[in-house]
Structure 1
Amino acid sequence: MNKESKIYVAGHRGLVGSAIVEMLREKGYGNLVLKTSQELDLRRQAEVESFFAQERPEYVFLAAAKVGGINANNIYRAEFIYDNLMMETNIIHSAYLHKTQKLLFLGSSCIYPKLCPQPMKEEHLLTGFLEPTNEPYAIAKIAGIKLCENYCRQYGVNFISAMPTNLYGKNDNFDLANSHVLPALIRKFHEAKIAKAPYVEVWGTGSALREFLHVDDLAQGLIFLMENYNDIEFVNVGTGEEVSIKELALLIKAVVGYEGELQFDTSKPDGTLRKLLDTSKINAAGWKAETSLKEGIEMTYHWFLENYSGIRGK
């Protein structure tokens, strides 16, 4: 990419898309094409093809997706597979038709089997059964990977895929029922602190292990891949470090300054017990995450406090 390249960021108001836009602008990329879901429904093929025919973006970051935590994935199963399949298929095909120079598709670490060897390497894809609670979302993301891979093989395009681990940061969704665990806990601890509640409830046993990547690090990583990576095979993007949900809760509790107790609701699911990405491929290419989990939570809580009245999920 050069600084004048026309770049389309699909999903620019979401957690990942907004971070990509901010990072691109910081690096001097000013020719950005941005459309809200009200202006362009990515699930509608005719709308997407018309958009690409008119704008002809040279580079595409495909960060648009319907996302959520365990609860949302399990309840809105049809929406998660339909919406994500339609969005990615329409964008990838239109990018091919209108000769986009390069596209980066954003997947998710939930593509890996439930009982995947740890840490999870790229070659472990499709070697076992998926976690049932997020199977529809995972299947949609696997389809996106295979679309990019096979458009490269048949048409000779440069469409790459990146699989990030669990993400968090500014512009996250803090809904207590449908968000991911880290933003939900930030909100829970903050509101318990204000209300002087005696305890905070945490879903599951607290023993499940998770890896967390700050969204600004991801944005750096994705721009790095767009500028430097051209292989058909997808690449993991993460920190290579993991923490238990209990340890995460205690860390957030300390950052927020909540002084009550933790209670674990074991009637709620833990999900996959361990999900650690092997990041040796992207590290060898020259990129590594920089933000520690504590630093990232402090940054996210600071943003949460500044934007509390208008945060998503309230």
Structure 2
Amino acid sequence: MKKVFVAGHRGMVGSAIVRQLEKRDDVQLVLRTRSQLNLSNQQAVADFFNTHDIDEVYLAAAKVGGIVANNTYPADFIYENLMIQCNIIHSAHKAGVNKLLFLGSSCIYPKLAEQPMLESALLTGTLEPTNEPYAVAKIAGIKLCESYSRQHQRDYRSVMPTNLYGPHDNFHPENSHVIPALLRRFHEAKLNNDPKVVAWGSGKPMREFLHVDDMAAASIHVMELEPEIYEANTEPMLSHINVGTGVDCTIKELVETVARVTGFKGEIEFDTTKPDGAPRKLMDVSRLKSLGWEYSFSLEQGLEDAYEWFLQNQHDFRQA
């Protein structure tokens, strides 16, 4: 039985990975809360790896936030993420852990990257300014994995998810991402019998969304690929793999689907005075498909699942 450490097991992605690994009879999970193990503390992380015979690591721990948080606390985002990644990857190596999977973010790609975004777009242009410190930290995580694999022959891999949503998402009314924000807004509008909901922008930009359970399944799939298969589908200086659906939709289509899932019957209005953002953000997932993995949740199925989780846990958000 292999001992698997999931760093960040209480987050949206980490908890999804744990839910899937818990079903396995060949895995012994090793989990630590923030109060039990401060991942920003180099000595604490080193001691943890030296006292546990870990076989594999899923590095899903990160300091995350929306545009406002990234703009307000850029030093926190770059420092904490760099420390978490450096401590875990280096300590894992020193303790002899040969298999590690690092979870990045699609924000690593240039602001004006060609669509759909190929893995080769990395470091070919300027990043989106609002989350550049976070993106730089994530790029460093990819390069750490590449470098330890090259210099020390470790099997350290990286996956880059598109926009994620699902159980354990952040449904805060101001700090959440688009899907949880819309689910909550339409749910409350339905309860209040509001005649209409106003959505920002024109509704024309296109975005790609992936249910977090699909992300977890893809992460485990990539982690468990035979080394020769993984290496044959990557390159020494381009070893990360995009994870997404390869399918996008307009924000208008997303909003209408959320309204349908939540049962909101009123009018939907688009405030075209508000900014749209980038016209399109889509991942090229042909590399992942060639490795035998595809998503299972349609957008509507995924939204229904996320909304059901919100309904069961909304008491946790009432004071938010």
**Normalising by the residue count of structure 1, what TM-score does the alignment of the two structures yield?**
0.94
Paired residues for 1:130-209 under 5 Å: 130-209=127-206
288, 294, 299: which one aligns with 2:305: 299
Distance 1:162 1:229, change over 3 A: farther
Paired residues for 1:32-111 under 5 Å: 32-111=29-108
Provide the C-alpha distance between the structure 2 equivalents of 1:124 and 1:285, rounded to a whole number of angstroms: 20
My pick for the range that moved more, 99-108 or 241-250, is 241-250
- Corresponding position of 1:242: 248
Give yes or no for contact 1:133–1:271 (8 Å, CA) kept in 2. Answer: no
**Which consecutive segments of 4 or more residues in structure 1 shift more than 4 A?**
265-269
Aligned partner of 2:304: which letter?
E
Provide the C-alpha distance between the structure 2 equivalents of 1:136 and 1:147, rounded to a whole number of angstroms: 16
- Following superposition, the deviation at residue 149 of structure 1 comes to 0.6
Segments of structure 2 that go 5 or more residues without pairing to the other structure are none
Paired residues for 1:243-262 under 5 Å: 243-262=249-268
Identity %: 56
- Following superposition, the deviation at residue 140 of structure 1 comes to 0.8
Give yes or no for contact 1:242–1:276 (8 Å, CA) kept in 2. Answer: yes
250, 270, 276: which one aligns with 2:276: 270
Cα displacement string for residues 94-138 of structure 1 (whole angstroms, at most 9, x for unaligned residues): 111111120000001111111101111111101111111221111
- Following superposition, the deviation at residue 266 of structure 1 comes to 5.0
Give yes or no for contact 1:173–1:313 (8 Å, CA) kept in 2. Answer: no
Distance 1:312 1:56, change over 3 A: farther
Aligned partner of 2:168: which letter?
N
Provide the C-alpha distance between the structure 1 equivalents of 2:314 and 2:23, rounded to a whole number of angstroms: 25
Provide the C-alpha distance between the structure 1 equivalents of 2:46 and 2:9, rounded to a whole number of angstroms: 19
Give yes or no for contact 1:72–1:177 (8 Å, CA) kept in 2. Answer: no
Provide the C-alpha distance between the structure 2 equivalents of 1:312 and 1:170, rounded to a whole number of angstroms: 17
My pick for the range that moved more, 64-73 or 130-139, is 64-73
My pick for the range that moved more, 119-128 or 78-87, is 78-87
- Corresponding position of 1:287: 293
Distance 1:312 1:91, change over 3 A: farther
* CA RMSD after TM alignment: 1.7
Cα displacement string for residues 198-220 of structure 1 (whole angstroms, at most 9, x for unaligned residues): 33233343222111000111111
